[in-house]
Amino acid sequence: MNLPNPPSSWERPPVESTTNRPSASSVLPPPPAARPPMPPSPTRPPAPSASGPTSLPKGRSVVRKLGFGVLALTAMVGSGVVGAFVYSSIDDDPLPPQRASEAALDVAEPRSSLPGIEVASVAEYVAPSVVTISADVDGPLAETGQSVGTGVIITSDGEVLTNAHVIEGASEVRVRLTGESEPRPATVLASDPGNDLALLRISGDDFVPATFAAPGSVRIGDEVVAIGFALDLDGGPSVTLGIVSALDRTIGTGDAFLDGLIQTDAAITSGNSGGPLVNAAGEVVGINTAVARGDFTIAASNIGFAISVDEALPIVDQLRAQADGAVRADGYLGVRLDERTDGGQGAIVVAVEEGTPADLAGILAGDIVIEVDGTPINGGTGLIAAIRDREPGDEISISVLREGELVEFRVVLTERPEA
């Protein structure tokens, strides 16, 4: 399935240069016995003190990239959180083996309602589960690039979830916990650029995993807090308050076609990528991934996107399977698409490749795809995302409008061919 190139407004921002900057505190408070209560939170953790400047590798130029991706507007974002807890000491243990954890993720029970958000309490409650991620990327001219982003600890034995674009092309990845001054080496277990999620692993145990909200529990109007290492600034985390503005948004950039996104007006900035969007109970409702920017034709203000818990949890299972050796193959339909310009919903089929699942099922050029397995399709990007979420051999139902009549097809997908 092909779609015309994404709008030029979808782009990554230029790599930003930085000078040497002080490292985080080397004076650490004692480890907490457990996560702070939620809510209320009676005290704030102490801020880390400054230490001397760090040195950069000699003989190589160093640039720093804040993970970020843009829609017309939009950009993928990347970063981390600094606080004042220490969970386990850094030692010389080797990296964990290239395998996924067997620990179950912590998913909350469904809630009928949530109170107004207590930002300070939520930020302190979530802080133990939020980490800063930095990755070295070697450029074509022997320069060293560094990508900075955020991650979320999801198991007590050290699995960390982040955006795939934060660690894309990395030769080395490091994770720094809230309150620690030194980063830990991390292993990339698996990455799914198409869904913009990656799974990392750090050595150790007794980490504090985040709790995920129950799938389907997020509502438009819910108050949320975005947490991330915004702009790679020194000091503590960036914490911003907003609401869930919309659900089931769809965007696309490069090889990533994302659907089921949460739209929020909580400010998301370069450096927030991979960080959590959390509700009033401190539960992760999404993984921050993109922000909308205006241009000379479009105005955009406080429009950010997070990969919803409904989408993220199944992808974690897929990433674990990849880490254990399974090969992840995208489903393939075999059509070229265009967007509707009449104000209607769906995607227009402009061509069908011979011998593909779409051709064998009877889909024709001119059909307008409006649903896949009963879920409405929002434009060509939405259809691509829906098909890529499936696997070769999956049988799906596709509903199309053909000359004003609703027609339904059963289609068995094949494997996406190499580009």
Q: How many Å apart are CA 188 and CA 190, to the nearest integer?
A: 6
* pLDDT tens, position by position, 15-49: 333 333 333 333 333 334 456 665 443 333 333 33
The reported pLDDT for the residue numbered 97 is 61
Q: How many Å apart are CA 71 and CA 8, to the nearest integer?
A: 9
Domain annotation covers residue 122: yes
* pLDDT tens, position by position, 243-283: 999 998 887 766 677 888 999 988 887 778 899 999 999 99
* 3-class secondary-structure state, position 158: coil
Q: Do residues 338 and 2 lie in contact, with contact meaning Cβ atoms separated by under 8 Å?
A: no
User: What is the overall mean pLDDT for the chain?
Assistant: 76
Q: Where are the beta strands (DSSP E) in 6-110?
A: 62-66, 69-71, 74-76, 106-107
The reported pLDDT for the residue numbered 195 is 87
The reported pLDDT for the residue numbered 350 is 92
Residues 361 and 306 in one domain: no
* 3-class secondary-structure state, position 388: helix
More confident residue, 294 or 117: 117
- The pLDDT of residue 327 is above 80: no
Of 62-71, 290-299, 347-356, 386-395, which has the strongest mean pLDDT? Answer: 347-356
Structure tokens at 97: 């083996």
Residues 130 and 245 in one domain: yes
Residues 286 and 150 in one domain: yes
Residues 282 and 348 in one domain: no
Categorize the per-residue pLDDT at 7 as very low, low, confident or very high, splitting at 50, 70 and 90: very low
More confident residue, 169 or 72: 169
Domain annotation covers residue 103: no
User: Which entry of 273, 310, 367, 399 is annotated as an active-site residue?
Assistant: 273
Q: How many Å apart are CA 39 and CA 5, to the nearest integer?
A: 47
* pLDDT tens, position by position, 379-397: 888 898 888 888 899 999 9
> Strands 211-212 and 106-107, how do they pair?
parallel
Q: Do residues 335 and 348 lie in contact, with contact meaning Cβ atoms separated by under 8 Å?
A: no
- The pLDDT of residue 286 is above 70: yes
Domain count, the chain: 2
Which of 323, 346, 380 terminates a domain? The answer is 323
Q: Do residues 259 and 250 lie in contact, with contact meaning Cβ atoms separated by under 8 Å?
A: yes
The predicted model gives 55-71 an average pLDDT of: 38
Largest CA distance in the chain: 70
User: Which entry of 9, 121, 134, 165 is annotated as an active-site residue?
Assistant: 165
Q: What sign for the dihedral angle of Cα 295, 297, 301, 303?
A: negative
Q: Do residues 80 and 148 lie in contact, with contact meaning Cβ atoms separated by under 8 Å?
A: yes
Domain annotation covers residue 142: yes
Categorize the per-residue pLDDT at 4 as very low, low, confident or very high, splitting at 50, 70 and 90: very low
Q: Do residues 217 and 273 lie in contact, with contact meaning Cβ atoms separated by under 8 Å?
A: no
Catalytic status, residue 156:
no
Q: How many Å apart are CA 53 and CA 67, to the nearest integer?
A: 24
Residues 148 and 290 in one domain: yes
Residues 282 and 356 in one domain: no
More confident residue, 139 or 356: 356
Q: What is the CA radius of gyration of the chain?
A: 22
Residue 354 is part of a domain; what is its CATH number? 2.30.42.10
The predicted model gives 80-107 an average pLDDT of: 55
Categorize the per-residue pLDDT at 233 as very low, low, confident or very high, splitting at 50, 70 and 90: low
Q: Where are the beta strands (DSSP E) in 48-122?
A: 62-66, 69-71, 74-76, 106-107
Q: Do residues 158 and 101 lie in contact, with contact meaning Cβ atoms separated by under 8 Å?
A: yes
Residue labelled with tokens 């769809």: 250
Give which of 153, 151, 163, 376 is closest to 256, Cα–Cα: 163
Residues 253 and 362 in one domain: no
* pLDDT tens, position by position, 192-223: 888 899 999 999 888 999 999 999 999 999 99
The reported pLDDT for the residue numbered 38 is 56
Residues 366 and 392 in one domain: yes
Going from the C-alpha of 231 to that of each of 65, 68, 112, 250, 359, the distances in angstroms are: 10, 10, 36, 25, 48
Domain annotation covers residue 27: no
- The pLDDT of residue 232 is above 70: no
Residues 261 and 314 in one domain: yes
Residue 182 is part of a domain; what is its CATH number? 2.40.10.120
Residues 258 and 296 in one domain: yes
Residues 161 and 295 in one domain: yes
H/E stretch holding 380 reads helix 379-388
Domain containing 339 equals 331-415
The reported pLDDT for the residue numbered 17 is 33
Q: For residue 74, list its beta bridge partners.
A: 71, 292
Residues 258 and 343 in one domain: no
- The pLDDT of residue 71 is above 70: no
Domain annotation covers residue 100: no
| Three-class SS of 257-323 | EEEEEEEECCCCCCCCCCCEEECCCCCEEEEEEEEECCCCCCCCCCCEEEEEHHHHHHHHHHHHHHH
User: Which entry of 101, 191, 196, 389 is annotated as an active-site residue?
Assistant: 196
Catalytic status, residue 91:
no
